[in-house]
Structure 1
Amino acid sequence: MSDMADPLSLDRQVCFALAIASRNVIGLYRPLLEPMGLTHPQYLVMLALWERAPLSVKELSKLLRLDPGTLSPLLKRLEAVGYIRRRRDSQDQRVLAVSLTPEGHRLRGEAEKVPPAIVGRLGMNMEELQELHRSLTRVIAAADGAHH
């Protein structure tokens, strides 16, 4: 059977292309994030906080699409290195609020160098990357819709 006719050919699988692209692109971040003491998942947490802090753990969980059990160790590590603070909300003690420390705010300046460096390493133009982002956003929405 030729690859073109085989619906199970590895090279024709969207899931395979997404998995490899994700692993390879995230790999490009590693040498840029290591000097900041961040892993890629921790970087995503910081991006959300730089944009919207303070946030509750529940809000962060929803924004990042991570369950609280996965998010909690990331937050503990970021707190241990001094980038964030977790405190009970003064209005509602059940809510754990996450905010940036001065060091966490300062780190944003270093992080601003990451996106252009990634674009440079990928060697793709901004139009291609924006179209890819739009396509992936549609894939995410379609997959979300298929789960409901």
Structure 2
Amino acid sequence: MNDQLSQALASVISQGAGALSSGITFLQSEIPDVIAQLLLWKLVWSGAKAIFFLAVVIACLRLFKFFYQKTALYNEACARIKRAKYGSDEWDAAKNDMDVYEDGSIAGYLGCTVCVLGLGIAGFGVFAQVGNVIQIWLAPKIYLIEYAASLAK
């Protein structure tokens, strides 16, 4: 019975070693393809995020232009009212019935401020993602080392 148990144990160990050997062989043959697919995925994903942030930058620029023009048109309208009402370009604060908005619409200035903040955030996102794309393109081994280190954390 001891011989049968030893033979069975030896058989299981040899089958396990054979499976481990074939698994290692499989992994060695597939690792380059997996790494290439990982790099391609990270490249495309970073490129897509960069394009998204670039679209946000363009949208912020267009909104900034819109709000700036609205503010400028409002200021021009205030100046026309002033000239029509008082006959001069001098602005008499005592006669001003639009005292809060004399320098333009609050909404226009607020919109411009929000657009500038959006430009800053999206611009940072564009540079970060383009940096990833360039790193994957020019130094893929360094990117892989950094990626593996981030996974190990």
**Larger relative helix fraction:** 2
Q: TM-score, normalised by structure 1?
A: 0.25
**Larger relative strand fraction:** 1
- Could you say which structure has the greater relative contact order, defined with CA pairs below 8 angstroms and 6 or more residues apart? 2
Q: TM-score, normalised by structure 2?
A: 0.25
Of structures 1 and 2, the larger Rg is shown by 2
